[in-house]
Amino acid sequence: MKIGFIGLGNMGAPMAANLVKAGHDVIGFDVAGATAEGASVAKSAAEAATGADVVITMLPSGAILRDVADQIIPAMTNGAVFLDCSTVDVDSARAVAEQAQAAGLSALDAPVSGGVGGAAGGTLTFMVGGDDTGFAKAAPLFEVMGQKAVHCGPSGNGQAAKICNNMILGVTMIATCEAFALADKLGLAREAMFDVVSTSSGYSWSMNAYCPAPGVGPQSPADNGYLPGFAAELMLKDLGLSQQAADAADADTPMGAAALELYKRFVEDEDGRGKDFSAMLPRFEKRARS
């Protein structure tokens, strides 16, 4: 396929490079001048979109997505697929989809899980909202860039799935870190704690696959000085999106709201910016009960 790829940051560049390696004709554009290995370079977002079978965007916010959509939709070919892999608010995803569909395009919102490692390794999971025709056309690209793509329903449902998933992740990571800090103060060895919880009812991805305690469980950012895998400020962004959606849907999410406030404090007031989201553990280690 001929693919336009807009947004060649830490996630977008390796995703685009994997498409090139799979034999697709990729032309990329990034406002900061970043490039992807093997991809041609466009002078503008509209140039990257012109004549493309699929245009993929990987952008930092809903406002930027809306702006880029205004630039590229008029340049896209009727019947092409607008595949947005950004993590943005549901309202922006649905507004852009409506705009694309009115122009004769298929629109997919397909945020990803798996981080920079998954982008480089082609092992991302895509949570996809949008029409069946677009999903079928994009399926071969999902197979190159990831290991799984789940069609979650109409436009906006991919974003809904992502923010619900990451709300769970933020809450369970905080609970996991709190539990390790409590175990320390009760004199329970971390390895014993892990051995029990990882095979008991406290089992979670945060404990079993991404343990926040250094030297315990599989290798994780905790073993690398909490350099991100998934930065705390990105978790803050996703929790903010979850609470924005909860407000709009009139959904009661007290744990999600509490997680948002804790990560906000951690990132903005407690030197958490630039650290992995699991660095909540050393935060709790240093704190007494308030």
Q: CATH number, domain at 103?
A: 3.40.50.720
Same domain, 140 and 168: no
Q: What is the rounded average pLDDT of the residues 2-11?
A: 97
Asked if 226 and 190 sit in the same domain, the reply is: yes
Predicted confidence band of residue 201 (pLDDT cuts 50, 70, 90): very high
Q: Looking at the annotation, which residues are catalytic?
A: 162
Quickly count helices (H) and strands (E) in the chain.
Answer: 12, 9
Specify whether 148 is located in the same domain as 178. no
> For residues 112 and 12, what is the distance between their CA atoms, to the nearest angstrom?
11
What range defines the domain where residue 277 resides? 160-286
Q: Which of 102, 123, 153 is the C-terminal boundary of a domain?
A: 153
Res 13: pLDDT = 97
Give yes or no: residues 36 and 148 share one domain.
yes
Q: How far apart are CA 278 and CA 212, in angstroms?
A: 5
pLDDT of amino acid 61 = 95
Pairing of strands 124-130, 112-113: antiparallel
End of a domain among 108, 138, 153?
Answer: 153
pLDDT above 90 as % of the chain? 98
How many CA within 13 A on the CB side of residue 163? 27
pLDDT at 147 over 90: yes
What pLDDT shows up at residue 115?
85
Provide, rounded to the nearest whole percent, the portion of the chain with pLDDT above 70: 100
8 A C-beta contact, residue 94 and residue 69: no
Calculate mean pLDDT across residues 112-136: 95
CA dist 207 → 62, 190, 214, 276 (Å): 31, 11, 12, 15
225 plus 204 within the same structural domain: yes
Give CA–CA dist 109/83, Å, rounded: 6
Number of domains in the chain: 2
Give the residue-averaged pLDDT of 253-277: 97
The verdict on 265 and 127 lying in the same domain is: no
Same domain, 61 and 89: yes
Mean pLDDT of all residues belonging to the chain:
97
SS3 label, residue 244: helix
Band the pLDDT of 117: cuts 50, 70, 90: confident
Average pLDDT over residues 165-171: 97
Residues 12 and 118 in one domain: yes
Residues 188 and 172 in one domain: yes
146 and 100 both lie in a single domain: yes
- Indicate the range of 99-108, 112-121, 273-282 predicted with least confidence: 112-121
271 confidence band (pLDDT: 50, 70, 90): very high
- With cut-offs at 50, 70 and 90, classify the pLDDT of residue 1: very high
Q: Are residues 175 and 279 in the same domain?
A: yes
Instruction: Please tell me the predicted confidence (pLDDT) of residue 277.
Output: 98
Question: Do residue 97 and residue 200 come from a single domain?
Answer: no
pLDDT the model gives residue 116: 86
Strands (E), the chain: 2-6, 25-29, 40-41, 54-57, 81-84, 106-109, 112-113, 124-130, 146-153
SS3 for 190?
A: helix
pLDDT confidence of residue 229: 87
pLDDT of 144: 98
**What's 238's domain CATH number?**
1.10.1040.10
Averaged pLDDT, 110-118 = 91
Last residue of a domain, one of 128, 153, 178: 153
